[in-house]
């Protein structure tokens, strides 16, 4: 058996092992959440109340909190991530300024989430409270908007690092040809670099979105921990991950514990669906990017 066949066999084995792990994780969640699925039925996905005392459990408030915080964080972080990627790949790929910003951006990915939680609790919460007073809404301070700001800072390194590397591998001949035709720097970025790097940028966005969906500790510390359906982006709320972290050790009844595990199953399905949709979007953008050029 030659080296190529050994390498292919190792890749297939690794792929099967990962698929097996995912299948076992899904089966374990499904098995342990079956009591809640049997007792609650579709009410779990249709109701709006989460009350362990009366044994009424619904995932809607937490699914809404999860999606709101993640999408808002992604929208806030995306301009900064793309700006950093363009700055490091097109304007200052070398030199002290580029290396310093690159190092500081990558350093964000290594900071523990609890540190971001403390930063949000003691720095962002008072600022957001002042902002809420100006807008005339209840000055909770902690809430979806605050959690989104913390998440936005946390996910910047993921989008920016992948986008930067993808932009660096855009063929130099394409950029030089555009400059030779009289294109400005902005036009080269808009018409050449971004279309070529669209699939890679989408991969970075997808990775950041998945990171935001599953974040627990930092969000738990600043989101307000409310089990009600949020009324606006300033309202306190809970994500699926944060409510599991808050209540799992306190769940004394089997139905309560099973409902929390069903929340984990729902988060697993949401993450899988987002990744599956992202896979098709990345393929579509890759084809369109080649066609546009």
Confirm if 193 and 167 have CB atoms less than 8 A apart: yes
Decide if pLDDT at 60 tops 80.
Answer: yes
Span of 127-131, 142-146, 193-197 with lowest mean pLDDT = 193-197
φ/ψ of residue 47, rounded to 5: -80, 180
Q: Does an H or E element contain 292, and which?
A: helix 254-292
**Tokens representing 11?**
């890749």
pLDDT at 152 over 60: yes
- 262 Cβ contact list (under 8 Å, min separation 6): 29, 33, 36, 37, 40, 44, 59
Q: Is the pLDDT of residue 170 over 60?
A: yes
At 109-118, the pLDDT tens digits run 888 899 999 9
Nearest to 75 by CA among 193, 191, 192, 212: 212
| CA-based nearest residue to 197, from 279, 103, 275, 292 | 292
In the prediction, which pLDDT does 125 show?
93
pLDDT tens by residue, 72-109: 999 999 999 999 998 888 888 777 777 888 888 888 88
For residues 249 and 214, what is the distance between their CA atoms, to the nearest angstrom? 19
For residue 189 the two structure tokens come to: 């970025």
What Å distances lie between residue 146 and 66, 98, 116, 125, 131, CA to CA?
13, 30, 11, 7, 11
Q: What share of the chain is helix, strand, coil (3-state, %, to 5)?
A: 80, 0, 20
Question: Residue 281 — pLDDT band, cuts 50, 70, 90?
Answer: confident
Helix (H, G, I), strand (E, B) or coil at 227: coil
- CA 157 to chain CA centroid, nearest Å: 12
**pLDDT classification of 221: cutoffs 50, 70, 90:** very high
- Is the distance from CB of 219 to CB of 245 less than 8 angstroms? no
Selection from 212, 211, 207, 205 nearest residue 69 by Cα = 212
What DSSP line would sit under 12-31, residue for residue?
Answer: HHHHHHHHHHHHHHHHHHHH
- Helices 60-86 & 144-168, crossing angle to 10 degrees? 40
For position 289, what pLDDT does the model report? 52
> What is the CATH architecture assignment of 34-292?
Orthogonal Bundle (1.10)
Q: Which residues contact 3 (CB under 8 A, 6 or more apart)?
A: none
Q: What is the DSSP letter of 217?
A: H
Overall average pLDDT of the 18-40 stretch: 90
CA distance readout (Å), 290 to 192, 194, 286: 10, 11, 6
CA torsion, ordered 266, 271, 276, 278, to nearest 10 deg: 140
pLDDT surpassing 80 at residue 272: yes
The pLDDT of residue 260 is 93
- The span from the first CA to the last CA of the chain, in angstroms, equals 42
Strand segments, DSSP code E, in 108-236 are none
> Which residue is listed with tokens 């984990």?
264
């Amino acid at each position: 058996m030659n080296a190529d066949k050994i390498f292919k066999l190792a890749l297939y084995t690794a792929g099967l092992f990962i698929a097996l792990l995912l299948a076992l994780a899904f089966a374990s969640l499904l098995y342990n959440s079956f009591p809640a699925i049997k007792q609650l039925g579709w009410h779990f996905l249709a109701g709006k109340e989460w009350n362990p005392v009366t044994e009424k459990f619904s995932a809607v408030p937490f699914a809404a909190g999860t999606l709101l915080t993640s999408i808002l964080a992604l929208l806030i972080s995306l301009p900064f991530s793309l700006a950093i990627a363009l700055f490091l790949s097109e304007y200052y790929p070398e030199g002290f300024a580029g290396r310093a910003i690159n190092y500081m951006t990558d350093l964000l990915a290594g900071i523990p989430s609890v540190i971001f939680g403390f930063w949000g609790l003691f720095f962002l919460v008072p600022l957001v409270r002042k902002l809420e007073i100006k807008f005339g809404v209840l000055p909770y301070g902690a809430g979806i908007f605050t959690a989104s700001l913390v998440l936005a800072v946390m996910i910047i390194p993921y989008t920016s690092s992948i986008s930067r590397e993808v932009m660096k591998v855009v063929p130099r001949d394409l950029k030089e040809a555009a400059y030779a035709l009289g294109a400005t720097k902005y036009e080269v970025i808009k018409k050449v670099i971004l279309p070529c790097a669209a699939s890679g940028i989408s991969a970075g966005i997808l990775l950041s979105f998945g990171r935001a969906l599953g974040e627990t500790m930092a969000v738990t510390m600043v989101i307000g921990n409310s089990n009600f359906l949020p009324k606006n982006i300033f309202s306190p709320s809970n994500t699926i991950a944060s409510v599991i972290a808050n209540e799992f050790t306190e769940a004394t009844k089997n139905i309560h514990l099973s409902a929390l595990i069903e929340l984990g199953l729902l988060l697993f399905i949401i993450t899988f669906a987002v990744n599956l949709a992202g896979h098709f979007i990345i393929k579509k953008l890759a084809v369109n990017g080649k066609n546009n050029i």
